[in-house]
Amino acid sequence: MTLDAKVTAGLLVIGDEILSGRTKDKNIGTIADHLTSIGIALSEVRVVADVEEAIVEALNALRHRYTYVFTTGGIGPTHDDITADAVAKAFGVTIDVDPRAVAIMKPAYEKRGIELNAARLRMARIPAGADLVVNDVSVAPGFRIGNVIVMAGVPSIMESMLISATATLETGAKVLSASIVVAHAEGEIAELFAAHQAAWPQVAMGSYPAFKDGQYSTDLVLRATDAGALSSASHTLAEKLAASGFSFVKKI
């Protein structure tokens, strides 16, 4: 089950290198943690190739469905970086070198002795109507158009842009979580746990098994926006488990 969320998000990861296995994505986890921490429910992720039609189709599906859509990847200076153009196409707007982006990039590049050549000017191409999303790492900006926030794929640059963009976001009630780890396999506690979920519909409960050093354990995770409900649900669960003779690795 999923908690009802006021503010939701989709994430679109763009890049052949993720699908081929060449690069192992780290951004999904980082963005998931960040959005959870500010009360935005990440509800769907898609990974697509560096192919215009694929990007446009996925972006249009996600942006009409969620409060926000974040994208990562494909905004560098090389020919395989086609995200900005695909986003412009999805929104039906023009795209050109943006004087605001050049104004940020030119002095920073001069200071570093980097030439603002034609390839690098590609990174200043911003769809009409977008706001810039600054980054402190490599200077070339991301952007926000409508409810879509377009970020780099390199994790350190993506993180800088994510922090920049956060100030402009509406956020919802933060989802709080509690965890009880029992020294038993999932199959032992499943019946008790299902009955507890049924009794607490406002708390989302999930179970995650582990097997280490010959010992089964199960992490029971409870999530809710209401701190009181979360506390009551997790304490009564711990009591029920103890009363049924289960032993704990971690008791709340």
Q: Which residues bind a second copy (CB under 8 A)?
A: 1-2, 13, 15-25, 28-29, 32-36, 41-51, 54, 76-80, 114-115, 117-120, 122-123, 138, 154, 175, 177, 185-191, 193-194, 197-198, 204-209, 211, 221, 223
Least separation, in Å, of the C-beta of 80 and a second copy? Answer: 5
- Between 71 and 145, name the residue whose CB sits nearer to a second copy: 71
DSSP run (H or E) holding 53: helix 52-63
DSSP 8-state class, residue 244 = T
In whole angstroms, what is the distance from residue 39 CA to residue 237 CA? 25
- Beta-carbon neighbour count of residue 231 at 10 Å? 15
- Between 1 and 242, name the residue whose CB sits nearer to a second copy: 1
Least separation, in Å, of the C-beta of 45 and a second copy? Answer: 4
Least separation, in Å, of the C-beta of 151 and a second copy? Answer: 15
In whole angstroms, what is the distance from residue 72 CA to residue 155 CA? 9
Phi then psi for residue 79, to 5 deg, are -60, -25
The pair of structure tokens assigned to 126 is 């911003």
Least separation, in Å, of the C-beta of 210 and a second copy? Answer: 8
- Between 79 and 92, name the residue whose CB sits nearer to a second copy: 79
Least separation, in Å, of the C-beta of 129 and a second copy? Answer: 26
- Between 197 and 232, name the residue whose CB sits nearer to a second copy: 197
The pair of structure tokens assigned to 29 is 């986890």
In whole angstroms, what is the distance from residue 178 CA to residue 203 CA? 10
Cβ proximity of 162 and 26 under 8 Å: no
- Between 32 and 229, name the residue whose CB sits nearer to a second copy: 32
In whole angstroms, what is the distance from residue 149 CA to residue 181 CA? 37
